[in-house]
Structure 1
Amino acid sequence: MIELKTVLTRHVPVRYFEGGLGPDLVFLHGAGGLTAEDPFLNALAAKHHVYAPLIPGYGDSEEAPEIRDMLDFTLHTWDVIEALGCKDPILVGHSMGGMIAAEMAAIAPNDLTRLALIAPAGLWDDDHPVVDMFSTLPFEMPQLLFHDAAAGAAILTAGRNVEDPAFLQAYLVTNARQLGMAGRILFPIPERGLHQRLYRIKAKTVIVWGDNDRMIAPTYAHAFKKGIAGSQLVSIPEAGHMVIVEKTAAVVQAIGGLD
Structure 2
Amino acid sequence: MVFETIRLEIDAVDTVVKTIGTGPAVLALHGAATIEGQEWARGLADRFRVYLPFHPGFGESGPAPHICGMQDLIIHNLRLIAALGLDRPHLVGHSMGGWMAAEMAAVAGERFARLVLNAPAGLNHPDHRGTDLSKVAPQDLPRYLAHRAEVAAQYFPGGSLAPPPEQFVAAREKEAKALSNIQKAHGMGHPNLGRWLSRIPNETLIVWGNRDRVALASQAELWASAIPKSRTYVVPGVGHFAMQEDPTCVGAIGDFLAGGK
The alpha-carbon distance between structure 1 residues 174 and 137, as it changes in their structure 2 partners (threshold 3 A), is farther
The alpha-carbon distance between structure 1 residues 170 and 51, as it changes in their structure 2 partners (threshold 3 A), is closer
Distance 2:56 2:240 in 1: 23
Corresponding residue number in structure 2 for 1:17: 18
Distance 2:144 2:182 in 1: 20
Shift of 1:34: 6.4
Shift of 1:189: 4.2
With 123-132 and 90-99 compared, the bigger mean Cα shift is at 123-132
2:29 maps to a residue whose letter is L
Corresponding residue number in structure 2 for 1:256: 255
Q: Which string of whole-angstrom CA distances, capped at 9 and with x for unpartnered residues, describes residues 55-105 of structure 1?
A: 111223210122221111111111111111001001001111111000000
Distance 1:153 1:233 in 2: 28
Corresponding residue number in structure 2 for 1:183: 180
SS of the counterpart of 1:45?
A: coil
Distance 1:19 1:230 in 2: 28
Corresponding residue number in structure 2 for 1:131: 131
Gapped regions of structure 2 (runs ≥ 5): none
SS of the counterpart of 1:253?
A: helix
Distance 2:183 2:132 in 1: 9
The aligned runs of 1:66-145 (5 Å cut-off) are 66-145=66-145
The number of residues matched between the two structures is 253
Shift of 1:158: 4.2
SS of the counterpart of 2:28?
A: strand
SS of the counterpart of 1:7?
A: strand
Shift of 1:4: 1.9
Distance 1:34 1:142 in 2: 11
Corresponding residue number in structure 2 for 1:56: 56
SS of the counterpart of 2:213?
A: coil
Distance 1:142 1:194 in 2: 29
SS of the counterpart of 2:237?
A: coil
Q: Which string of whole-angstrom CA distances, capped at 9 and with x for unpartnered residues, describes residues 11-69 of structure 1?
A: 3121010121011111101122168x632122222221111110111223210122221
- Contact kept in structure 2, 1:93 and 1:117, CA below 8 Å: yes
- Contact kept in structure 2, 1:21 and 1:48, CA below 8 Å: yes
With 246-255 and 110-119 compared, the bigger mean Cα shift is at 246-255
CA RMSD of aligned residues (A): 2.2
Structure 1 runs (4+) deviating above 6 angstroms are: none
Q: TM-score, normalised by structure 2?
A: 0.89
The alpha-carbon distance between structure 1 residues 243 and 90, as it changes in their structure 2 partners (threshold 3 A), is same
2:188 maps to a residue whose letter is P
Q: TM-score, normalised by structure 1?
A: 0.90
The aligned runs of 1:144-155 (5 Å cut-off) are 144-155=144-155
The alpha-carbon distance between structure 1 residues 14 and 155, as it changes in their structure 2 partners (threshold 3 A), is closer
Report the identity percentage: 33
